[in-house]
Amino acid sequence: MQKIAYVNGSFVPGEQAMVPVTDRGFLFGDGIYEVTSVIDGRMVDNELHLARLQRSLGEIRIAMPAPLERIREIQHELIRVNDLSEGMVYIQVTRGAAERDFVFPAADVAPSLVMFTQQKNLVGAPSGVKGLKVMTFPDLRWTRRDIKSVNLLAQVIAKQAAAEAGCNEAWMLDGEMVTEGGSSTAYILTANDTIVTRPRSTMTLSGCTCAALQTLIVERGLKLEERPFSLAEAKAAKEAFATSATTLVAAVVEIDGEAIGDGKPGPVATELRRLYVERARAS
């Protein structure tokens, strides 16, 4: 079946989904994106993703390209026409197409809105079920990592290095400290059974999956501490895991070739993955 995408007001076959070469997302990485997972044909934590889209756009002074209500409608329409049961809906907003100039274009240049779906095995993904192998890599990004910018070069390089080493994810390092995964939030479970992840700041992207999972962690009566943790702490942890819209919750079984715990997905990460999927299916 021909996949349908949405580009600036029109639903078009995927191969005709195009933006001009002068689009500022293409020239400058001057744009924002969001990824919402779809399970059983339904979006998961979508309101959190739409709120973060609005926030990121506000931080770099790009106007919302359409009312939220309309963006939500387009998401539903794309899921419907593409008959998407499991995978993701992608949204990208850029500052629009204009003559190349670093300075913002004139106010009459409209932001560009592109959306498409991608089919992906999420719940049964082997890396999610068997656990992730992680490789560490220096965090080469800018200092506004809270903005979900389409500038992903540092993450592309880190994740490519990880893939070449036979790993599923890169954990990025600021000195000795883990910031986050190339495209996921990082957690450890300490010896005293406390789940540790970074607090909200400009140093990392605040994950929507993380926000939703924190509610489950608290409901479950597990201890949660929001603070940075070091690579040494992660390697010595009882468990480690990662979350994202596409990873859901996945155990980390290895970091830089060293097994975490017994090298198998730990009980806490396994239970949190089960609970998260159960909640997504029930919503």
Q: Enumerate binding residues for ligand PDD (CB under 6 A).
A: 35, 180, 183-185, 205, 207-210, 243-246
145: which 2 tokens? 């990592």
Handedness of CA 37, 43, 48, 50 (dihedral sign): positive
Residue nearer to ligand PDD on the CB measure, 23 or 180: 180
Helix (H, G, I), strand (E, B) or coil at 94: strand
152 C-beta neighbours (distance < 10 Å), count: 16
Can you tell me the distance from the alpha carbon of 203 to that of 142, in angstroms, rounded to the nearest whole number?
Answer: 9
**Residue 206 C-beta: closest distance to ligand PDD, Å:** 8
Catalytic residues: 148
The residue written with tokens 């963006």 in the block is 71
134: which 2 tokens? 């992680």
Q: Which residues contact 58 (CB under 8 A, 6 or more apart)?
A: none
Residue nearer to ligand PDD on the CB measure, 189 or 245: 245
Residue nearer to ligand PDD on the CB measure, 156 or 259: 156
> What residue type is 9 in one-letter code?
G
**Residue 209 C-beta: closest distance to ligand PDD, Å:** 3
**Residue 197 C-beta: closest distance to ligand PDD, Å:** 11
Residue nearer to ligand PDD on the CB measure, 188 or 208: 208
